[in-house]
């Protein structure tokens, strides 16, 4: 099988989002940021109440609202952070062969990826798995 396609910056962002959504270690990190910081905000509301006076439970709703807002907007913040990191990575340079016209060839020996800047060969013995649903390539395959 031989496929030719153009790899764009948006394709890279789609790939990064897919990776971040399915990587166990990154998902664990995102969960820690989301849940722990939400709990910290709720606790800060109570802590401010304790420091300020006689009825700390009155400040609990402030912490709950702050924590709830953070919990609700975190996914959008996380996605925007991934986009910024991808843009920064691509802007750093030394990525000339990463974007643009790509060729992917699959044969009995393995997988060959070619671009205007080089060629990458992977024998089947080095391939751990192939995922059919990888959006960066699936959209580009001929129907």
State the Cα–Cα distance between residues 98 and 118, nearest whole angstrom. Answer: 10
- Each of the 143 residues of the chain gets a pLDDT tens digit; together they read 888 888 888 888 988 898 888 899 999 999 999 999 999 988 888 888 888 877 777 888 888 898 999 999 999 999 999 999 999 988 887 777 788 888 888 888 888 988 888 888 989 898 887 766 555 555 555 55
Q: How far apart are CA 34 and CA 72, in angstroms?
A: 9
Beta strands in the chain (DSSP E): 2-7, 100-106, 110-115, 118-123
Q: What's this model's pTM, rounded to 2 decimal places?
A: 0.69
- CA–CA separation, 77 vs 22, rounded Å? 18
């Amino acid at each position: 099988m031989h496929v030719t396609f153009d790899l764009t910056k948006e394709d890279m962002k789609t790939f990064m989002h897919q990776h971040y959504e399915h990587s166990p270690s990154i998902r664990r990190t995102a969960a820690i940021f989301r849940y722990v910081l939400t709990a910290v905000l709720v606790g800060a509301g109570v802590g401010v109440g304790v420091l300020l006076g006689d009825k700390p439970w009155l400040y609990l709703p402030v912490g709950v609202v702050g924590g709830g807002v953070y919990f609700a907007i975190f996914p959008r913040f996380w996605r925007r952070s991934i986009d910024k990191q991808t843009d920064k990575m691509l802007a750093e340079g030394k990525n000339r062969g990463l974007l643009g016209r790509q060729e992917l060839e699959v044969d009995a020996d393995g997988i060959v990826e070619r671009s205007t800047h080089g060629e990458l060969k992977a024998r089947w013995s080095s391939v751990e798995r192939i995922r059919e649903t990888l959006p960066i390539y699936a959209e580009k395959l001929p129907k």
